[in-house]
A = this chain, B = another copy of it.
Amino acid sequence: MSKLKILASACAFVVLSSVAASGLTGDSSPVYGVKVPDGYRHWEVITVAHEAGENNDIRAVLGNDIALKAFRDGTRPFPDGTIIARLAYFYESSPENDQVVTAPQSFVAGKPTNVQISIKDSKKYPETGGWGYGQFENGVTNPSEPLIKTCFACHVKLDPSKDFVFSHYSP
């Protein structure tokens, strides 16, 4: 192999690795076509929660500027352009912390489980209250159509005043 070919091959590897690391694979969710929003990990936090049961995760709910403004102002329904990112992690006991506080009471975020994205676009998603959904594992969309259909099926059960959103803002 020529030096040029080796260099080209190495470059391609670097580029592909960078794409995988950024989570921006360019793919999108079934049904809704929702993609991972650029820079969502830098967004402000709306609230935090622990979901026990089958999920058994601990989660940070982040939002873009439109979402945060709506949460802080109490604006409902949420305006178009609102994006909510729910980042979930394995819910884990922390022996490292428990040893310090000398009690088995510390629970922390382990590895990420998945990221769920909700986007408000009342023109694009009129049949689901104006919301489009996506679930991503390691930045790659979960391709299951039955799974993605559970999103609205669950959110629609909330009181109408909540505009299909579970989270309350934590000051």
A62 surroundings in chain B (CB, below 8 A): 45
Q: Is the CB of B48 within 8 A of A60?
A: yes
Query: CA of A99 to CA of B157 in the docked complex: distance in angstroms?
Result: 9
CA distance A99 to B162 in the complex (A): 14
With A49-B107, A100-B154 given, name 15 new contacts (CB 8 A).
A41-B44, A41-B171, A44-B44, A48-B59, A48-B89, A48-B109, A49-B94, A49-B106, A50-B50, A50-B58, A55-B105, A60-B60, A60-B170, A99-B157, A101-B154
A50 touches which one: B47, B107, B168 (CB < 8 A)? Answer: B107
**Chain copies in complex:** 2
| A83 located at the interface, meaning its Cβ lies under 8 Å from any Cβ of chain B in the complex | no
Find out whether the CB atom of A103 lies under 8 angstroms from the CB atom of B53: yes
A109/B47 contact (C-beta < 8 A), A157-B100, A170-B89 known: yes
Task: Provide the residues of chain B in CB contact with A171, threshold 8 Å.
Answer: 41, 112
